[in-house]
Every structure is written in structure tokens, then in C-alpha cells.
């Protein structure tokens, strides 16, 4: 049984951390890319004019997800959650696109185009952009 004693001195803690063999953790660029491509795919899938972009981004995301899974399997590489989120977003976008090609109406974003256009016009006039 151990007894609780006084806290170790600060120089002892510093020596303990300096002697730690941990490698610095970095985030995988492939995992970030997979997430961003999946996000682009899911955000463009509901628009008729952007279906090609959504299909391209979703397909690229699936390829990059495989690379991200391999990269994040090492212990000093972070980004497993980003890879999983990118995979989910890409698959969801591809399902929406597939349902559209199967005859279902998945272009619910087309009704938002006038609203988005007016918002962008308001921003442009607010910041006095050309």
C-alpha cells in the first residue's frame, strides 16, 4: 500500500518530462484532406449544377480516406476522427447523388439558390467588393 506524500519538486517533474520517450504527435494531411473533400461533396450534392463536382470530390475523398487510414494507424499520427468523418460525408454525398440518378428528387438545394444569391449580394454590397 502506498501512502500519499508531498508533491514532487518541480525540478523532478521537469526531469521526468524531459526523459519521456514520447514522439511529438502530428495530424495527418491525408485525414484533413479526406474531411475537407467529404465536406465539399456533401455540401454540393443537393445542387443540380454541382453534381459533377460532388461526384468528383466524393470519389477523391474515398481514395484519400484509404491513405488517411494507413497514415493514422501509426501511434504518433493523429486524425482518425477526421478520416471517419470524411468517409461518412463522402458516402452520404455519393448516396444522395446515386438516389438522384435513380430517379428520386434529391435536388433540394436548388430552391435555396435565390436565397444564397441574395445573401452573397448583401455581403458584397456591405464590404463594397467589385
Structural domain including 48 reads 25-126
- Residue 13 domain-assigned (yes or no): no
Handedness of CA 46, 86, 64, 24 (dihedral sign): positive
- Residue 5 domain-assigned (yes or no): no
How confident is residue 53, by pLDDT bands cut at 50, 70 and 90? very high
- Residue 101 domain-assigned (yes or no): yes
Number of domains making up the chain: 1
Q: Are 113 and 47 in contact (CB under 8 A)?
A: yes
Report pLDDT for 6: 57
Model confidence at 21: pLDDT above 90: no
Task: With CA atoms as reference, report the closest residue to 35 among 63, 70, 65.
Answer: 65
For 77-124, the pLDDT digits (tens) are 999 999 999 999 999 999 999 999 999 988 888 898 899 999 999 999
Helix (H, G, I), strand (E, B) or coil at 9: coil
pTM listed for this prediction: 0.76
Grid cell of 64 as nine digits: 484519400
- Residue 43 domain-assigned (yes or no): yes
Average pLDDT over the chain reads 89
Which of these ranges, 5-14, 27-36, 38-47, has the smallest mean pLDDT? 5-14
- Residue 51 domain-assigned (yes or no): yes
Amino acid at each position: 500500500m502506498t501512502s500519499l506524500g508531498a508533491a514532487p519538486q518541480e525540478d523532478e517533474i521537469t526531469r521526468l518530462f524531459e526523459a519521456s520517450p514520447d514522439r511529438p504527435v502530428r495530424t495527418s494531411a491525408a485525414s484533413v484532406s479526406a474531411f475537407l473533400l467529404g465536406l465539399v461533396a456533401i455540401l454540393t450534392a443537393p445542387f443540380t449544377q454541382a453534381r459533377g463536382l460532388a461526384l468528383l470530390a466524393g470519389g477523391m475523398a474515398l481514395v484519400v480516406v484509404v491513405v488517411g487510414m494507413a497514415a493514422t494507424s501509426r501511434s504518433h499520427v493523429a486524425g482518425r476522427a477526421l478520416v471517419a468523418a470524411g468517409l461518412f460525408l463522402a458516402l452520404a454525398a455519393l448516396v444522395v447523388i446515386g438516389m438522384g440518378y435513380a430517379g428520386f428528387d434529391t435536388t433540394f438545394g436548388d430552391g435555396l439558390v435565390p436565397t444564397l444569391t441574395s445573401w452573397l449580394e448583401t455581403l458584397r454590397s456591405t464590404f463594397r467588393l467589385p
